[in-house]
Structure 1
């Protein structure tokens, strides 16, 4: 049985049919008996951060689709606890949240770059026992996260890289077509 903890990566099975999570990699940020939540790492949102928040109107940072829950909220992951106060440590070099206003100032002062932080609209959430059920039915492949994968600038490569790093049959899965019937 897989132990669900912050820092666990969920890599969607190549044939997962849920449009929200097809070929997705999700970082688990919190897990309690009541449920779990995290962020999809490899789905760019249709708008940039500056389109959504006036505070960031002159900042050209991408916005990622964190998941289908509360898509009226914006969250961020970062690796700069030395500059951003109030963040929650997920694992070494990965923090969730912090002082949002301070982040805007730090970005405008060029003290934080795109490689240090990632913004998400919405999040991915599972109710009590739901994620365990999905793991049991093998909807997800799991591995531990690291900051180089979480903050990978090549968004399209995150899913494949996460699988290839596992080697063996998982490395082969990275090359599966979206629709095997078209192969």
Structure 2
């Protein structure tokens, strides 16, 4: 599967040597003719959300730390949330923008009290991953990324250490075998 759209996961293949993305799982938040952007799901930092965005500290999912979302604009924050209700059945909520299903982007300038009751989970990322027009398609063609369906539980896992392996393991066919592949097969 190589069609990239919001809600898909990009799993770094062993061919991807860029240290920013080695062994990462990236949630695609938007993709189109002008490029794509997403956030790395399996790079928690040691910095508590309360230290930089105290108003959101009671709303974020465990672990309540910032995640390193990618190498672009690392001084900014991207917030991904899970709505309690289906956004197609409920009216639009100020500060939330639908990504896919119940996953939404949250504008962190929105007052917490306006949206906190709407959320089942929130994760905040410092920075993001971004690709220009056709850049991600080229990287997929050269074998740098596996493209697979994502789930909300992938976004809000407490322990992200085995996320990449677990996502690979649930894939059909030969792709599941890559979950047991050593980091460097040449040393095997």
Q: Give me the TM-score of the superposition, normalised by structure 1.
A: 0.84
Unaligned runs of 5+ in 2: 86-91
Quote the residue 1:12 is aligned against.
Answer: 12
Q: Supply the distance in 2 between the matched residues of 1:173 and 1:7 (Cα, whole angstroms).
A: 22
1:31 aligns with 2:14: no
Q: Supply the distance in 2 between the matched residues of 1:150 and 1:54 (Cα, whole angstroms).
A: 21
Quote the residue 1:66 is aligned against.
Answer: 69
1:125 aligns with 2:130: yes
Q: Supply the distance in 2 between the matched residues of 1:132 and 1:160 (Cα, whole angstroms).
A: 23
Aligned partners of 2:28 and 2:39 also within 8 Å: yes
CA 1:62/1:84 → structure 2, altered by over 3 Å: closer, same or farther? farther
Aligned partners of 2:79 and 2:108 also within 8 Å: no
Superposition deviation, residue 91 in structure 1: 1.1
Aligned partners of 1:84 and 1:103 also within 8 Å: no
Q: Considering only aligned residues, what root-mean-square deviation do their CA atoms show, in Å?
A: 2.7
| Structure with greater strand percent | 2
Corresponding residue pairs, total: 179
1:80 aligns with 2:83: yes
Q: Supply the distance in 1 between the matched residues of 2:134 and 2:96 (Cα, whole angstroms).
A: 27
Aligned partners of 1:14 and 1:173 also within 8 Å: no
Q: Supply the distance in 2 between the matched residues of 1:119 and 1:47 (Cα, whole angstroms).
A: 11
Unaligned runs of 5+ in 1: none
